Structure 1
Amino acid sequence: MSGEISKDEALTDTKKDVTLDVMMHKGILIAKCEIDEIQKFEMRDDDVWVCTFPRSGTTLTQEIVYLVMTLDFEKANSVQLDDRFPIIDVKNDKFPYYRGVKHVEEMQSPRMVKAHAHFDFLPEQLQNGKGRIIYLARNPKDVITSYFHLLQWLNELRDYNDTWPKFFNSFVEGKALHCPWPRHVLKYWERRNDSNVLFLKYENLIKDLPNGVRTIAKFLGKEILDENVARICDHCSVQNMKTNENVNLSYWREFKNVNDEAGGGFINKGKSGVWKHILTPEESEKIDVLLKEVQEAGLTFDT
């Protein structure tokens, strides 16, 4: 009958309305979260935090850390990573695993936590050396292209950044979510020699994954057999990660529309240099300005 919609159509319309809320904190756009509670968060000595700017190898590193810490492949293949290794700096009841600070407080040790927070938005105790931080940095030319495709896939682009030119400009100008990118990276780079900080580059990690697993294990004080290194590397291969429904964010389809017609998903090619086939020479030069800012502090990336 004209004017009526089916149950499925109504559900689709409802799912379209599910989006992440954002907020400004000290001039930086971040996901809505309990930022004051995060900064006062009571750390434990064996807490492990994986911190990144989005699209810098977060999921890969989380899965490596989880398996180095537990060697529990059965759980890794049956329980969502967002449940095993929750993000703390997103609080949104519309999403099943974005449960905020209280949930992390109540987790059993060793707690493994994800954050996209700038260094000075982390718990004060963590900043002062209690707990461990593993930080991943990635060439911003790959970050920006991957970031846009992710937000397209998730239907999370807003009016102010819903086209590539608008998104690109917001990133370069330091106005996109979690930007400015140089500030984010440099705050952790400055602390790279702290005993509780491991600063890694995504490009190095994927170039030699077994070495990356051993480096992470050593930092976490874990002895690891070669056979387990090989098993972790196989589990964390790009192909396995793309098809593993416990890490590829496919569960979002249960409550939110995603756009499979977009140029990418949650896990894509898993390699560096993809930007060379996407960015124009003019766009590449604009991001070179951001790269120069971190190069002046001694941080360089393979291009």
Structure 2
Amino acid sequence: MEMVKIVDEENNKYTFKRYKGYPFIIETVGNVRDQLAKIANRHIKQDDVLVCVFPKSGTHWLYNTVMMLRSGSLKYSGSPTMMEFQDFNEIEKMQSPRTFGSHLRFRFLPEQMKIGRGKVVTVTRNPKDIVTSVYHMLQNLGDIGYQGTFEGFLNIFLSEECFMGNGSWFSWIKDMEEWEQSNFLSLSFHDFKQNTFANVVKLAKFLEVDHDEDFLRSVSESIQFNKLKESHKITTPPSDRWKDISEDGRLPIYRKGEVGDWKEMFTVAQSENFNKIFKKKVEEMGLKIKASCE
């Protein structure tokens, strides 16, 4: 592993860990290699569920929906234990059925999940909204890898040196689309917003949990963005894990949760350039994703 520090011509500063050619956020535990080995070799129980989502695409939204469906309770569950950022034993201590999370590319997930053990769920989002949300989050944290302008971060986000997804969003999606196991479900952020109840029903069926319509509608109400944001503010305790990079030991998880918020951030030129790269990458990589960047 090497620690990479880049300063571009506009004095934007970018720092990440590089291992075997892949970029990793500096908060990834240790030398990356050992943590990845532990993750790859992790024993997966048949009733384990992994919420694996590209950063700022709806991780906490999906995680809390899964938790409500699996527990039969409308209680807010906070943040998932993330495999790459927290001590390996945190997941080992969990009582079954276990639900945990990751932002890693699918190629780095547990080997047992790659052969169908446990379940994996994700949610995909317009990459323009993602980069907008990621940039705002980085502005509200200590130095976890980027200090600079939105233009500078946009250039990095579109490159294979984007530490948020161990490469570009396009490569992350490519890995996801190559996951051919029946233990996988992908939802759309935009559709989840528009048709929340239908997606809750779809998720419940995939998780093989049996609830009546009234409970599923209650879940749909309980996971509305403003309710989750308020619950996070009220119930999430400060964490020693994040005290050095956040103001009060709480990560700024929720901002707006809107579709199309990128329009408040992108210039016309930035949007047009993004569209060109999006079209080119989707065609070159043969991506099937229907996510729009408009």
Q: Do residues 81 (structure 1) and 67 (structure 2) align?
A: no
Q: In the alignment, which residue of structure 2 is the partner of 1:190?
A: 178
Map 1:114-193; keep pairs closer than 5 Å: 114-156=101-143, 158=145, 161-177=147-163, 178=165, 179-191=167-179, 193=180
1:231 partner letter: S
SS of the equivalent of 2:88 reads helix
Whether contact under 8 Å (2:144, 2:245) holds in the other structure is no
**Whole-angstrom CA distance in 2 between matches of 1:119 and 1:49:** 11
**Whole-angstrom CA distance in 1 between matches of 2:20 and 2:233:** 34
Q: Do residues 232 (structure 1) and 226 (structure 2) align?
A: no
Q: In the alignment, which residue of structure 2 is the partner of 1:283?
A: 270
**Whole-angstrom CA distance in 2 between matches of 1:252 and 1:211:** 35
1:272 partner letter: V
Whether contact under 8 Å (1:248, 1:267) holds in the other structure is no
SS of the equivalent of 1:245 reads helix
How many equivalent residue pairs? 264
Cα shift readout 1:50-94 (whole Å, capped 9, x = no counterpart):
101101110000000000000233xx34xx523xx311111xxxx
**Whole-angstrom CA distance in 1 between matches of 2:186 and 2:94:** 25
Q: In the alignment, which residue of structure 1 is the partner of 2:6?
A: none
Map 1:211-290; keep pairs closer than 5 Å: 211-245=198-232, 251=238, 255-256=243-244, 258=246, 265-288=252-275, 289-290=277-278
TM-score when normalising by structure 1: 0.79
Q: In the alignment, which residue of structure 2 is the partner of 1:14?
A: none
Q: In the alignment, which residue of structure 2 is the partner of 1:299?
A: 289
Shift in Å, 1:251:
3.0
Shift in Å, 1:291:
4.8
1:180 partner letter: S
SS of the equivalent of 1:199 reads strand
Q: Taking every aligned residue pair, what percent have the same amino acid on both sides?
A: 26
Cα shift readout 1:18-73 (whole Å, capped 9, x = no counterpart):
xxx95223322223231111011111111100101101110000000000000233
Cα shift readout 1:175-198 (whole Å, capped 9, x = no counterpart):
12223111111211222x521010
Cα shift readout 1:236-265 (whole Å, capped 9, x = no counterpart):
1111111113699673698346479xxx94
Cα shift readout 1:108-149 (whole Å, capped 9, x = no counterpart):
111101000101100111112111000111111000000000
**Whole-angstrom CA distance in 2 between matches of 1:101 and 1:201:** 30
**Whole-angstrom CA distance in 1 between matches of 2:156 and 2:231:** 32
Over 3 Å counting, the alpha-carbon distance change for 1:205 and 1:41 in structure 2 is same
TM-score when normalising by structure 2: 0.81
**Whole-angstrom CA distance in 2 between matches of 1:250 and 1:165:** 34
Over 3 Å counting, the alpha-carbon distance change for 1:216 and 1:111 in structure 2 is same
**Once superposed, what is the RMSD of the aligned Cα atoms?**
2.5
Whether contact under 8 Å (2:78, 2:232) holds in the other structure is no
Whether contact under 8 Å (2:49, 2:99) holds in the other structure is yes
SS of the equivalent of 1:271 reads coil
Shift in Å, 1:292:
4.2
Cα shift readout 1:139-175 (whole Å, capped 9, x = no counterpart):
11000000000111123454x5432222111111221
SS of the equivalent of 2:139 reads helix
SS of the equivalent of 1:244 reads helix
Over 3 Å counting, the alpha-carbon distance change for 1:121 and 1:217 in structure 2 is same
